[in-house]
Amino acid sequence: MMSSMRISPAAVAVFLSLLAVAVGGCINSAGAWTITINGNPQYVIDRTVYDGFGYRLTINGTTGVPLEQFLYAEGLYPVTEVTIAGRSYDWNALANATTFELPLLVTADGRVFDGQGYLRAGNINVTVADRPAHTSLDIAPSMLYALGLGGDDTLIQGRSDRVVLFYVDAMGYERYEQAKSRGIINNITSLGAPEKLACMYPSVSIVNGKTLITGMPPDAGKGDYESHLPDGPTVLETAAQHGLIAYWIGGNTSPVDPGDFRISCPDRNENGYEADEVTTEAIRQYGSGADLLYVHYKDSDTIAHVYGPFSDEAMASLEYADIQIGRMLPCLDPGTIVIVYADHGGHKVPGGGNHGCLIPSDMIVPFIVHVI
C-alpha cells in the first residue's frame, strides 16, 4: 500500500545522498533503483533488466550497458533526441561526434554516465522518428516464400524459380535518397520504389548479414556480435535441401560466413572495387543455372568508412555498384525476382564515417522488389 505522506524530491535526494554516504557509496547494494522511459511504467530499466544484458562497454573508465540497448529492446527507435535529468542530447549530433558507440551508459548503480559525468535518471525522455512497419527479420521468410519454400509474403508477394538479391553494403535509406537525387543510381531506381525497413541493432553488417539469411534476430542481451557464423539454418541451406542451386557471392571479406555456399571474389584488376569481379562471377553462376544468388557489394561500406557516407567518394561507390547491377540485369530471365537491399546506413564521424547507432540514418534501409 502506498504511503500517503508527501515527500519533496529535494528531500528524497538529500536522503539518498546521506544513505550513499552511510553505506560507503554502495547505493546499489540494496539493488533497488528504477529508471522509467517516457514516464511509461511499461518501459522500465531496473537492476533485473540491467543484469539481463550481458553486453558491457567501458568509456573513460566507467563500465555500463549502452542506453541504446534498452531503447532498442523496448522498440523505442530510431532515436532523434534523449533527455536525461533535464539535459538533452541530439542523438545524431552525438553520433557524429563519436567514433563508435554512443557514450551514454546505464551503470550498475542505476545512474547514467554520459562520457563526462553522472546523471541521476529517474526518468528518461526519448524522441523517436517514424519506425518502418517491417524489419530485416522479414526478409528471409519472404525469400523462402518467393521461392515457394514456405515462409510468408510480408515483403515479396510474387513467386519465381529464380531470385537475385543485390546487397549494397551501407546504402541506408538516406544514402539511397541522396544518390537518387544525384541521378547516379538509375539502374537501382529503375527497379521501383523501395519499402523502408528497420535493420537490426547494432546497425552493423555482422548482425544484419546473419539476419538477412536466417531471419533470426541477434541476441542483444548476449552482446555476441563477433561471430560470422549464422545463428541458425540459412535460406541458402533450405534452398539447397529442395534441390535449388544457391550461392553467396561477395568480395574478399564477408559479414556472414554461409559455408560452402560462399564464393569470394577479390579485387583482381586492382581498380579499387570488388563489385566488378563479384558481378562477373554472379553473371557466370546465373548463366550456369543458379536459382538463388545473394550478390554482396562491400565497397560502398569500406569507402564510406574512410571518407564519410555522404562524401563524393562514397557516392561514387554507390554509382559503381549501380553500374554493376546494370551489367547483370540484362542477363536475367523474364520472371526473375530482383531485390536490392542494404544492411544498414551510416553517419559522419570525425575523420570518416561509421554506423551502429539507433539513429535514423543508420537504422533505416531500403528494400526494393522487382520482377524482370
> Which of 237, 301 has the CB closer to Zn ion?
301
For residue 181, the minimal CB distance to Zn ion (Å) is 23
Site for Zn ion contains 101 (CB under 5 A): no
Q: Following CA atoms 23, 27, 28, 31 in sequence, which dihedral angle do they give, to the nearest 10 degrees?
A: 90
Counting Cα atoms < 13 Å in the Cβ hemisphere of 356 gives: 17
Q: Which stretch binds Zn ion (CB under 5 A): 20-28, 77-85, 261-269, 295-303?
A: 295-303
One-letter amino acid for residue 240 of the chain: A
Q: Which stretch binds Zn ion (CB under 5 A): 16-24, 26-34, 296-304, 331-339?
A: 296-304
> Which of 114, 301 has the CB closer to Zn ion?
301
Among 109, 274, 281, 301, binds Zn ion (CB under 5 A): 301
The answer to whether residues 187 and 363 touch, using CB atoms and an 8 Å cutoff, is: no
Helix (H, G, I), strand (E, B), or coil: what is residue 364? strand
DSSP-derived secondary structure letter, 46: E
> Which of 60, 253 has the CB closer to Zn ion?
253
d(CA 199, CA 215): 12
- Measured from each CB, the residue nearest to Zn ion is 301
Q: Could you say which residues in the range 326-365 bind Zn ion, by CB under 5 A? A: none
Q: Which stretch binds Zn ion (CB under 5 A): 127-135, 235-243, 278-286, 301-309?
A: 301-309
Binding-residue total with Zn ion (CB under 5 A) = 1
d(CA 312, CA 309): 9
Locus of grid cell 539513429 = 359
> Which of 326, 352 has the CB closer to Zn ion?
352
* Grid cell digits, residue 249: 557471392
Q: Which stretch binds Zn ion (CB under 5 A): 4-12, 280-288, 299-307, 323-331?
A: 299-307
> Which of 237, 274 has the CB closer to Zn ion?
274
d(CA 126, CA 75): 11
d(CA 147, CA 162): 7
Binding site for Zn ion (CB under 5 A): 301
